[in-house]
Structures are given as structure tokens and as C-alpha cells.
Chains A and B, each alone.
Chain A
Amino acid sequence: MRRLLLGYAIFAAILYAIPGIFTRVHPYTMSDGVQMAILAIAALGLIPLTGYANQISLGQAAFYGTGAYASAILTTHSGWSPWLAMLVGAALAGGGAYLLGLFIFRVSGHYLALATIALGLVLAIVARQLAITGGSEGIPGVPYLSLFGVEVVGDVDYYYLTATALLLATLVVGLVVRSSLGRSLTAVGDSAFAAAASGIDIARYKRVAFVLAAVLAAVAGSLYAHWVTYIDVHTLDLLLSIQMLIVVAVGGMRTVWGAALGSFIVVSLVRFSKEWLPALSEKAGGQVEIVAYGTALILVLLFLPRGVAGGFADLFHRLRSTAGTAREPASAVAAAGAGTAEAAREIAQAGSQRGERP
């Protein structure tokens, strides 16, 4: 328990230290920081769903877009409070996921991936046609969020808000995966037969994980809408869903830190590929980074099946097991970069607790 609290304390310390780093280190900007936090929240729900229950969702953007559109429409057309609109968006997404989950988990298999990809594409087509969603032009003029009567404008302030949201969301997902629900999901993912034989209602647990993923994605979508103050059908894009899947796969699907770590890696990849390959990017319509993160996804899944976090955990284990004879490597890693090494150690601890559980 102390280890776990320490984990969250270190995670919070890293999150709140990021503005100090990103405002000084080229080529990062604070808008990358906000993007990372929002992407991590949106992808976080995939850890119980895909990492534990082995169900692939390619519809995270459908729920993200639902949140974004609910916030945009309710605040601009109906003049609602942004927080209330966010709540409605989350409820819509969660309700939709619950309904779809009622049917889709009746049979097992990988039907969820197909159903969610189709759901996202249908919503994108509908959003492009309807007047209330602004057609392909989207919705401008979404108000800023205000907290205790103060408008949160500017990337640094908004980063603190989204980072806090990420911290809370990570706590929630952390509690979920450590609860009996998380253990049941693990059982379902490991062997559906054995889980069913032990009396676990497989469909119900998958549904709960799916609803949680949808709600988190919707909240992230609302946060995005109030940050850029303008949204269009890109919030429903399939590529965004794929990106969220990549975030958890690269970061590590079996630990709550995977989403934050993965979104740091993915946003960095996008940033660096834009920085280094601008010529390529122009010809390819600015989507050249999909090569980078597609390749990253394949390489990580092949060589680090438990993601970068799992890789850190293995490294830490190896270092600790040889620590008696050679103390140097561990301290070398610690010296390499205070922040990263701390993160590595923390993630390693969390990973070893989680990964080794039968």
C-alpha cells in the first residue's frame, strides 16, 4: 500500500514538473503537454478493456467525439454550464457503450473491434451531414472552462487542469484494476472458459470495462473541446481511435501507468517526426507520423509485449537480481536522468506487482 501511494506521489510529481521542462526543452511546447494529458485520459480506459479483458475497441474516438460534440453543442446552442455539458457527454457515451455492450458481448470473439470501428465511421458520417453538428465545418466558439469563477485560458493553466484530471482518472482506473472487478477481468482475459466455470459473468465485466473506457474518452473529448474552442469531425476520426490503442499498447496495457507513458511517447513521436521530416509531411498531407507510430506499435508488440512499462519492469528486475554482484548499472540508470529513472523505477514496481500476479 505504501508502495502504491508512493507510486501516485511520484506520478503526480512528474506530471506537475512537466511545465517546467516543456517550456524549456526544444521542440516541446505546452500544447504538447495538454495533448499528452488529454490523449492519456482518452486511452486510459483501454487498460482494463484491452489489457485485462483482451477486448479491442476501435471506437474510442466515437466516444471522445460524443463528449466533444455534447460539450460544444450544449454550451454554444443551449448555453449550458461546461461542467454540466461534460457530464451529459459522459452519460451519453457511457449509455451508448452500455447498450452496444449488452448485445456485443453475448458471444465472445473479437466482434467489438468491428462494431466499434463501424460505430465511429457512422457517427462521423452523421456528424458531417447534420446541421446541429455544423456539418463538415464543425462548431466554433466553444467557451473556455472556468474553475471557481476563473476562466482557464492558456496552455500552462489548462495543462494543470488536464494533468489533475489525468491523475484522478488514473486513480479511478487503478482502483478498478485492483478491485475484484480487475481480478475478474484478468481471469476473463487469461481464460474465458475457466472464468465462466468459476461463475464470473464474463459479458457483464467486459461491459463494465467498455462503459468505463467510453466515459473516460468522452471526458477527454470535452476537455479537448474547451481547450481548442473549436471542434469538427476529426474528433471522431478512426485514426484517433487507432492512436489511443497505440498509446496503451506502446506504454503497456497491463499497468495503469501505461496510458500516460504511451501518450508521452506517441505525442513525442508526432512532434519529432514533424520537426525532422517536414518535407515528407507536406507531400503526404501531414499524416507522415502514422508511419512512425505504426512502426512503433509493431516493434513494441514484437519485442516488448508488455509495452515500454513492462520493458522497464523487466530491466529493473534484472538490475535488482544482479544488484548484489554489480551495483553500478542501477545507479547508472538512476543517474542518467532523474525524472525518467524515477518513473522507470516506479513503473517497474507497479509492473512487477501487477504482472506477476497469477
Chain B
Amino acid sequence: MAEFFQFVVTGLATGAMYALVGLGIALVFQVTGVINFAQGHFVMLGALTFAILAESGVAPLPAAALALAGTTMVGFLLDRLVIAPARNQPTDRLIILTIGASIVIEGVTLVAFGTQPRAAEPFSPGVLRIGGVSLERQYLWVAGAAAVAVAAVWFFLTRTTLGKAMRGVAMDREAARLMGISPSRMSLLVFTLAAALAALGGVALAPIQHPDPGIGIALGLKGFTAAVIGGLDSPAGAVVGGLLLGVAEAVAAGYLPSGYKDAVAYGVLILLLVARPTGLLRTVRAVRV
């Protein structure tokens, strides 16, 4: 039983990370209808930039700030340079564009920094023990970063005019446009916000999973799974989905041969899309064409 609790705790801690990625994916999908295949690559960029700066002796706080600013800038540029000019094309072409952007991001980081993983020092080293359950302290930072980010997004969406405008676009783009909200500006905002969320997660993750340019795809896919559990267009659902996925993965990995660990999340994604594509957490089925 103690073993099981251990899996649950580790799962929740990694799940916080998936929640953060999934939140970004759900927000972008809700506002623009685009599945952003570059979301995992934003996490990679944040983590890698932070680790490289930390390795070269920059203090953690400025390194984190630079990683955050840099990645957010890439999100801003993704919308301005790639998404905005293609605004009038069908959604599937926009999705293909984010796939193109994701491999360009990965390729450029490969060329710039090589393939070797980078290591950052944990913010607070050591292991936390409560009862029979132990957890690397760094995971608390991941969970904390995720909690702060989720709270900030919630506050933004429900308590600020800009956030309400964004929800307006998500509900009905045409009606929002008639109310004077520019969907194109909301798209810019949501891509930038998603990149910032991803970078925050990446910075907290860097000391645990030593980042290299190739980690983006796996992180992105786990984010999709989290978002799909919540129905793809529900930010709150994506957060819960991320936590559920983290626990499911940790528990399954505890009892499966180690080589299959990653297959759990992908298997869950396929099963979910096959059995219940509108999400596990939905009671009302939305009809969409």
C-alpha cells in the first residue's frame, strides 16, 4: 500500500507538469481552434535555456527570467510570423503550420546546442519524506509553479476584462468580433500565454529531467492526452486530466516493464480518442462538425 501511495504522490507531481502543458494546449484550442503541436517544444525551450544559462554560471533567478522571456518571445513570434499570416486558411493547414514550427524550433536548438542533455542544479536539493512516501524536493517546485500558473490563468480568465474577452472569442468568434474584440489579437495573446506557461513548467522541470532538444514531442503528447481527458477545449479539464494522467502513468509504470512506461500515456490517448473523444470529464456531449 505504501508503494501505491508512493506512485500516487510521484504521479501527482509529474502530473502537475502535464497539467501545465495541457492547459496551454486547451487554451490555444479554445480560442483559435488550432491544436498547437509546438506546445511541448515551448517546455523544451524553457527548460533548455534555463539549464544552459545555469550551467554557464548565471544565478537561478535571472536565468529563469531569461528563459521565460525568451520562450514567451518565441510564442509571440509563432503567432505573428506563422499563424497570423495564414489566418484565413482552413484549421488543418494551421495545425500543419504548428507542426512545421515545432520541427524548426527543435532543429534550430539542435544546431545551436547539440544533442547532449543539460543539467541544472535543483532549486532545493534533497528528498522530502513523509511516512513511507518520499519525493524529490524539486517536484514541489514543479507542483508549486503549476499551481501558481493555474491560479493566475483562472484569475485572468474570470476577473479581468482581457480574460473575459478571450473567453468571448472562445465561445463565439463572430459574436466577439461584433462586440469589438479582435480574434487575431486574442490569438496572439493566447499563443504568448501558452508559451509563458510552458516555459514556467520547463524551468521547474529542468533539474529533474535533464533537458535536450528532443524532449519536446513526448511532453507535448502528454499535454495533448491531458487536454483530451478534459475534452480538449476545457482549461480546468486539462489540469485535472494532467494530474490523472500523471498518476495513471506512475502506477502503471510501477507494475510494467520499464521500457513500456511512455507507452502508457500514448495508449491512454488512443483509447480515449477511440472510446470517448469528447473527454472523460464531460457529461454533456458537445456536437461539433
**A residues with CB within 8 A of B:** 50, 54-56, 58, 100, 103-104, 106-111, 113-115, 117-119, 121-122, 125-126, 128-129, 189, 192-193, 196, 238-239, 242, 245-246, 249, 280, 283-285, 287-291, 293-295, 297-298, 301-302, 305
A113 B35 Cβ-Cβ under 8 A = yes
Q: Roughly how many angstroms separate A287 CA and B99 CA in the complex, as a whole number?
A: 16
Q: Which residues of A contact B90 (CB under 8 A)?
A: 54, 189
A-B contact pairs, 26 of them (CB 8 A): A55-B92, A104-B273, A107-B278, A107-B288, A110-B92, A114-B35, A114-B269, A115-B270, A115-B273, A118-B273, A121-B262, A125-B259, A126-B263, A192-B289, A193-B289, A238-B217, A239-B103, A284-B110, A285-B115, A287-B107, A290-B103, A290-B107, A295-B104, A298-B97, A298-B101, A302-B97
CB distance from B112 to the nearest CB of A (A): 9
Give the distance in Å from the alpha carbon of A357 to the alpha carbon of B107 in the complex: 39
B263 nearest in chain A by CB position: A125
Q: Which residue in A110, A115, A301 is a CB contact (below 8 Å) of B97?
A: A301
Of B5-13, B81-89, B133-141, the one with at least 4 CB within 8 A of chain A:
B81-89
For the complex of A and B, list the 3 residue pairs with the smallest distance between their C-beta atoms, beginning with the closest: A291-B107, A297-B100, A294-B104
Residue of A nearest to B90 (CB): A54
A111 contacts B273, C-beta separation under 8 Å = yes
Max chain B CB contacts within 10 Å: which of A104, A239, A297? A297
> Do A284 and B96 touch across chains, with their CB atoms under 8 A apart?
no
Considering only CB atoms, which chain A residue lies closest to B101 in the complex?
A298
How far apart sit A214 and B107, CA to CA, in the bound complex (Å)?
28
B160 within 8 A of A: no
Query: Residues of B contacting A305 with CB < 8 Å?
Result: 86, 89, 93
| Nearest opposing residue in chain A for B34, CB measure | A110
Q: Tell me whether B259 and A121 are in contact (CB under 8 A).
A: no
Question: Within the complex, which residue of B108, B262, B289 is in contact with A291, where a contact is CB–CB below 8 Å?
Answer: B108
Inter-chain contact A56/B92, CB cutoff 8 Å? yes
Whether A108 and B288, one on each chain, are in contact in the complex, defined by CB atoms closer than 8 angstroms, is: yes
- CB nearest to A239 among chain B residues: B103
Identify the interface centre among B95, B111, B221, B257: most chain A CB within 10 Å of its CB: B111
Is B224 on the interface with A (CB-CB < 8 A)? yes
Nearest CB of A to B105, in Å: 8
Give the distance to chain B from A276, nearest Cβ to Cβ, in Å.
13
Interface residues on B, range: 35 or more
Q: In the docked arrangement, what's the CA distance between A289 and B104, Å?
A: 10
- Find out whether the CB atom of A114 lies under 8 angstroms from the CB atom of B100: no
Given contact pairs A109-B232, A301-B89, a sample of 11 additional A-B residue pairs in the complex whose CB atoms are under 8 Å apart: A54-B92, A106-B277, A111-B277, A114-B269, A121-B221, A125-B260, A125-B262, A126-B263, A290-B103, A290-B110, A297-B96
Chain B contact surface mostly: helix
CA distance A118 to B263 in the complex (A): 9
Closest B residue by C-beta to A99: B274
Q: A125-B262, A297-B100 are in contact. Are A110 and B91 (CB under 8 A)?
A: yes
Q: A242–B278 Cα gap in the complex (Å)?
A: 26
CB contact list, B271-285 vs A, under 8 A: 273-275, 277-278
Whether B101 and A294, one on each chain, are in contact in the complex, defined by CB atoms closer than 8 angstroms, is yes
The answer to whether B95 and A122 touch across the interface, beta carbons within 8 angstroms, is no
Q: Which residues of A contact B232 (CB under 8 A)?
A: 109
CA of A283 to CA of B260, assembled, Å: 30
Provide the bound-state CA to CA distance between A28 and B82, in Å: 32
Would A294 and B221 count as touching, CB distance under 8 A?
A: no
| Beta-carbon contacts under 8 Å, B215-267 to A | 217, 221, 224-225, 228, 232, 257, 259-260, 262-263, 266-267
Give the distance to chain A from B89, nearest Cβ to Cβ, in Å. 6
Give the residues in chain B near A54, CB-CB below 8 Å. 90, 92
Cβ–Cβ contact A103 & B110, under 8 A: no
- Taking CB atoms, residues of chain A closer than 8 Å to B89 are 301, 305
- Determine how close the nearest CB of chain B comes to the CB of A175; give it in whole angstroms: 24
**Contacting pair A245 B99 (CB below 8 A):** yes
Per-residue contact bits, chain B 91-133, to A (CB 8 Å; 1 contact, 0 not): 1110111011111101110110011000000000000000000
